[in-house]
Structure formats: structure tokens, C-alpha cells
Amino acid sequence: MELNNTVIVTGGAGFIGSNFVLEWLRREGGQVVTLDKLTYAGNLGNLASVDQDPRHLFVHGDICDDELVAGLFETHRPRAILHFAAESHVDRSIKNPGEFVRTNVVGTLNLLKNACAYWKSLDAEGQRQFRFLHVSTDEVYGSLGPDDPAFTELTPYAPNSPYAASKAGSDHLVRAYHHTFGLPTLTTNCSNNYGPFQFPEKLIPLVLLNALEGKALPVYGDGKNVRDWLHVQDHCSGIRCVLEKGAPGETYNIGGRSEMKNIDVVTAICDILDELRPDAKIGARRSLITYVTDRPGHDRRYAIDATRIEAELGWTPQMRFAEGIRKTIEWYLSNMSWVDGVRSGAYQEWLHQNYRGR
């Protein structure tokens, strides 16, 4: 069976997936087949700019649908599948762990099973070229103390939330399919992403939009939880690099080298908005900061050591946080119609459920 110059992207209407699809079509040739279930975080508006692009095909469907996934491999004969589809919000995983296991574990297993059958049907050259790239998270490694060294690819897994546990399970399945069946897999574990098209339940867009409207800015606990922030465009470039140069069966950590306390992220957003959109009625937006009861199992610190991808594959992040957060805020301010489109009644109900009583 001959390969096409086609890639399948699961979860390609979500935050990171849609940024990847748009960047891929700007930089690469061939067709992109986007598979997305269009749950609360999947939004076709993210892909509106390529709606008429003949190189892009959108398929509405579930990665757990065995017949659908098998048909996509048979019809499109891709050279790679890039697996972004996942339930990804920790707070939602605490409310409904089962959905996270279904999508992140069972869905990944279904993709692997069908990818392996497809790969085995290829000739020797096709098998050599094909890749299954699985996009994961640094949360599988657990939590760090303030002076602990950053996570490396050899850090033992210690997931602390249902979300992290479900992603750890999917990582292990990807590894098993390589070692048991020979499927040429690649895994990337990234730090916290931010940038255009991020659903507004996540910290940066939630704070940004609340601050813009003069609403309370909820900060968990003491606000000193630390994350390494990675601009989504840097993440996408790292994934393209791993797809092109990574060794099958290996894992590569992708980080932004931008560790920040949550409270410092929040105050940075406040200060930039005060500069770009001053509002006398609201005043200094730092006054809107409201500390709320911490969420269960909240990891204290994540940090990624990206030495391997930098040394072996030649990738480095290009955007420091100060530049990236300003560009992100400017994007949201210029795309309020997109914001209005995703802030549905269902989203408002989620905010009420998650922060009520905190």
C-alpha cells in the first residue's frame, strides 16, 4: 500500500490541535484530515481561515469510534497521525473522571489498534516512513518541590489528578505498542500552553476576560503554584521537529523555559490590560484578584527540562513569556467575536459549578 502525503490530526479543532493544523498548512504540503468530536472545547471557528482550503478535510467524529477510525486510515493512507484529542482540564476530571478515561485511555487505544493494523499493511518503505505521534503533558510526572530539578524524560510517572492519570495511561499504551508490536511511535510531553484559541476555562484566558469586564479574578490557594509556560506556536514547532527528526519509540519533553508563579501570571495580565484597555470604572485590575479554596490534589510545581530535544533535534523555544503573554492578550482583544462564540450557556454553567462556594 502506497502512502499519501497526508496527516491525520485528532482533536484538530481544539486549542493546540487547531494551532497545529493552521501552522502545518502554512508551512507544509499535502492534505490534513482533522478528526474532532466537537465537545465543549472543540470549535470549528478555530479553523475558519482554512474552511475553503482544498488541502484540509474536517471529519466530525469520536476517536473511540472503531469503524470511523479504521475507515480514515484506509481511505486517506496517511504518512502520520498526530494525536492531540484529549479531555484536558483538571477541574473537569475531578468532576467526571470516567469521561477522561474513556477519551484519553480508551480512545488512544482505539487509535493505536487501528494505526498498527494500517502500518502492518504497508510495504517496507511505507512502514519505515509512518509515524504515530502522541501529544501528552508534564502533569504525568507529578509535582515538584521549589528546589527540585525539572522533569526529564526519565522522571518516574506520579500522576496526581484523574486527568494526569488518564494521560499517563495513554502514554504507557503508546510505549507498549512500540515495544510489543513495533509501531513507530513518538511521544511529546509539554508544559502549560497558552496563546490564540485557548478555551476560556484555562487560567490565562479566564483571567484575561474577567479582568477586561471588571469581574473577580479567582486564584487557587496562595497563588504560588509554579508552571512552565510554553507558547502554543513554540509547542507546534517542537512537535513538527519531533515528527521530522525524532527516533521511533522515544519521548521528548517540550518546554518554554518560562517558569512563573500563577499569581505573577495574573498580575502580568492585569498590568498589560491596564495599559492596553484602561477603564476608570474598574481601576487597577490587580484589585480584582480573589483567592479561592484550592482544588483537590493541586500540584505545586511543574518544570520541564527540554535539554534532550534541544541537544538531539536542535529545537528551542523562540517566545519568552513577556512577549508571548502580550501577543496573546492582543489576540483576544482583536478577536472578541470568537470569544463571544465560545462563551455559551454551557460554559457559564461550568464556571458556576466550579467556582461556586470557593
pLDDT in tens, 183-207: 999 999 999 999 999 988 889 999 9
Give the per-residue pLDDT at 232. 98
Q: Containing domain of residue 153, as a range?
A: 6-195+230-256+300-318
One-letter amino acid of 177: Y
Query: What contacts 264, CB < 8 A, 6 or more positions away?
Result: none
The CATH number of whichever domain residue 94 belongs to comes to 3.40.50.720
Mean pLDDT of all residues in 78-91: 92
Q: Is residue 201 part of a domain?
A: no
What whole-number distance in Å separates Cα of residue 217 and Cα of residue 285?
9
User: Is 286 within a domain?
Assistant: no
User: In the predicted model, what is the mean pLDDT of residues 307-334?
Assistant: 97
Angstrom distances, CA of residue 131 to CA of 72, 216, 344 = 15, 45, 37
CA distance 219 to 204: 11
**Residue-wise pLDDT tens digits, 246-294:** 999 999 999 999 999 999 999 999 999 999 999 999 999 999 999 998 8
For the chain, the straight-line distance linking the first and the last C-alpha, in angstroms and rounded, comes to 57
Mean pLDDT of 283-308: 92
Our count of domains for the chain comes to 1
User: How far is 66 from 107, CA to CA, in rounded Å?
Assistant: 9
- Yes or no: say if 249 and 326 are a contact pair by the CB < 8 Å rule: no
Residues 121, 130 contacting (CB under 8 angstroms): no
Can you list the positions of beta strands (E) in the chain?
6-10, 31-36, 56-60, 80-83, 131-137, 185-190, 192-194, 217-220, 226-231, 250-254, 259-261, 289-292
CA proximity to 253, closest of 295, 202, 319, 315: 315
Phi-psi region of 100 (alpha: psi -120 to 50; beta: other; left: phi over 0): alpha
pLDDT at 346: 56
pLDDT in tens, 323-354: 999 999 999 999 999 998 887 645 455 445 55
How do beta strands 217-220 and 185-190 pair?
unpaired
Residue 91 appears among annotated catalytic residues: no
- The arithmetic mean of pLDDT across residues 75-80, rounded, is 97
Greater pLDDT, 352 or 17: 17
294 is an active site residue: no
Q: Which position among 163, 177, 194, 332 bears the catalytic label?
A: 163
Evaluate if residue 114 carries a pLDDT over 90: yes
Residue 238 forms part of a structural domain: yes
pLDDT at site 320: 95
For residue 358, pLDDT beyond 60:
no
> CA–CA separation, 212 vs 209, rounded Å?
5
Give a yes or no: residue 167 inside a domain: yes
Give the active site residue among 36, 62, 138, 234: 138
Q: What is the mean pLDDT of the chain?
A: 93
Q: Report the pLDDT value the prediction gives residue 355, as an integer from 0 to 100.
A: 44
How many other C-beta atoms are found inside a 10 Å radius of the C-beta of residue 75?
13
Distance (Å, rounded) from C-alpha 78 to C-alpha 19? 20
The per-residue pLDDT for 1 is 57
Tell me whether residue 209 is in a domain. Answer: no
Is the model's pLDDT at 104 over the cut of 50?
Answer: yes
Task: Please give the pLDDT value at position 297.
Answer: 76
pLDDT for the residue numbered 351: 46
3-state secondary structure of 194: strand
Quick one: pLDDT at residue 353? 59
Per the residue annotation, which of 36, 62, 87, 139 is the catalytic one?
139
Which three three-digit cell numbers place residue 8? 491525520
State the pLDDT at residue 343: 76
Q: Is 202 in contact with 164 (CB distance < 8 Å)? A: no
Which residues is 227 bridged to in the sheet?
260
Torsion, Cα 87 150 249 312, to 10 degrees, reads 130
Give this prediction's pTM.
0.93
Contact between 308 and 154 under an 8 Å Cβ cutoff? The reply is no
- Residue 220 located in a structural domain: no
**pLDDT tens, residue by residue, 132-172:** 999 999 999 999 999 999 999 999 999 999 999 999 999 99
Say how far apart CA 345 and CA 358 lie, in whole Å.
21
Taking the C-alpha atoms of 110, 112, 117 and 122 in order, what is their torsion angle to the nearest 10 degrees? 140
Span 27-54, pLDDT tens digits: 997 899 999 999 877 889 999 999 999 9
Backbone angle region of 136, left / alpha / beta, with phi > 0 → left and psi within -120 to 50 → alpha = beta
